[in-house]
Amino acid sequence: ALDAATLKAFEHAAAGHDGVLSSAAGDLLIKPCTQAEVDFYQSTLTQHPDFAEMMPTFLGTLTLGEPAQLTNPTALHEPAEILRQQDASGTGQPGKKLKTDTAIVLENLEAAFRHANVLDLKLGARLYADGTEADKAARLDQVAAETTSGSLNFRIAGMKVWNGVEYDKYDKLYGRKFRAGNVLEGFATFFAGLSTALEAHEAQLLLETILAEVAKVRHMLQKYESRMYSASVLVVYEGDGEALRALMSGGGEAKVKTPMADERAPTEAEVKESVDQEEEEEEEDGGPPVAFKVRVIDFAHAEWTPGEGPDENVLKGLNSIEDQLDDLIARFD
């Protein structure tokens, strides 16, 4: 259950605003957001359910101070009462808080990992929607012009990397220093853990699988007409070397079920055994452990826009990210 008294500040954000909360078990994230972001999550579930799979699982909305409106009542058993008391713990992050009473309840993408390495790649050269005040638009254009946002249609907005003892944090200024010619160094820094934990061919396999997920997002957005300003691709991979090695020797992202050698149906005992095994593999709350997750996040300025054609601003950014991953893969040859 989502109990207000047990919510805590989410301290692991790679970028963005303050004021994000997580459930006590750490499986859920409560993010203050605009109505436009709520609308985007809801419309995606009905209009483009396959794209919803590339987003964090959306569990519902709540108004801070009121009972939660949950779309999936099986995930959370009791109505939640969220109190206006989350300010106390929101220290230590540079972001500003959003002035909003609305929040979304999302899957915490870090929950499936022992130590989540997180890379936030902000998409687009143009970073604001129509109707944005001129001075804000000019400011965002200026940042884009000075960073890889302008040249590659993405920039590193932030990252955190487990160093074996604690997280190394890279703030928004880190990613702004790169140019098109050297942003690969940012990817190399983020993925440095692969070289120590894995064989070169395993590192390549992991990076190729991550690249394929980015390509999957691109293919969907080539088909579905949308406008997304300042959304991000969030790349998460297991920062615990030992855990990562074990996951890669077990086959990468979702565990592949080995089919039975013969065609007969499994006996009751066999079914029970495989269910037990799955339950054992399941972490406390974050679902089964995986080597990585790639998701699109941050839809404050996102809309499905049938009739307007594909979102070249975002597609170019996704393409550039795929190019960087390709170049990084080549380094392991």
Residues that bind ligand ADP (CB under 6 A): 13-17, 20, 29, 31, 56, 106-110, 118, 120, 158, 232, 234, 297-298, 300
Out of ligand ADP, Mn ion, none, what residue 238 binds, judged by CB under 5 to 8 A for its kind, is none
Q: 304 pairs with which residues across the strands? A: 226
Burial profile 154-166: b = 16 or more Cβ within 10 angstroms, e = fewer: bbbbbbbbbeeee
Main-chain phi, psi angles of 60, to 5 degrees? 150, -175
- Among ligand ADP, Mn ion, none, the one that 161 touches (CB under a kind-dependent 5 to 8 A) is none
Nearer to ligand ADP, 22 or 320 (CB): 22
CB closer to ligand ADP, 158 vs 193? 158
- Among 10, 16, 33, 80, interactor with Mn ion by CB under 5 A: 16
User: Toward ligand ADP, which CB reaches closer, 158 or 317?
Assistant: 158
Other Cβ atoms closer than 10 A to 177: 15
Could you say which of ligand ADP, Mn ion, none residue 60 binds, taking C-beta under 5 to 8 angstroms by partner kind?
none
3-state secondary structure of 22: strand
Task: List strands edge to edge, sheet with 154-162.
Answer: 167-170, 154-162, 116-123, 232-238, 292-297
DSSP symbol at 18 = B
What are 34's two structure tokens? 């605009």
Residues for the chain: how many in total? 333
Least separation, in Å, of the C-beta of 176 and ligand ADP?
15
Residue 17's binding partner among Mn ion, ligand ADP, none (Cβ under 5 to 8 angstroms by kind) is ligand ADP
Residue 239 interface partner, choices Mn ion, ligand ADP, none, CB cut-off 5-8 Å depending on type: none
Instruction: Report in angstroms how near the CB of residue 145 gets to ligand ADP at its nearest.
Output: 21
Kindly indicate which of the ranges 126-134, 248-256, 279-287, 292-300 contains the residues binding Mn ion, using the contact rule CB under 5 A: 292-300
Long-range contacts of 208-211 (CB under 8 A, 24+ apart): 208/329, 209/252, 209/253, 209/292, 210/235, 210/237, 210/292, 210/294, 210/325, 211/322, 211/325, 211/326, 211/329
DSSP per position, 67-85: BEEES-TTTS-S--B--S-
**Segment interacting with Mn ion (CB under 5 A) among 42-50, 88-96, 250-258, 293-301:** 293-301
Q: Which of 158, 140, 150 is nearest to 316 (CA)?
A: 150
Considering CB distances under 5 to 8 angstroms, the limit depending on partner class, which of Mn ion, ligand ADP, none binds residue 226?
none
Judged by CB, which is closer to ligand ADP: 104, or 194? 104
Decide if residue 298 touches Mn ion (CB under 5 A).
yes
Q: Which residues bind Mn ion (CB under 5 A)?
A: 16, 298
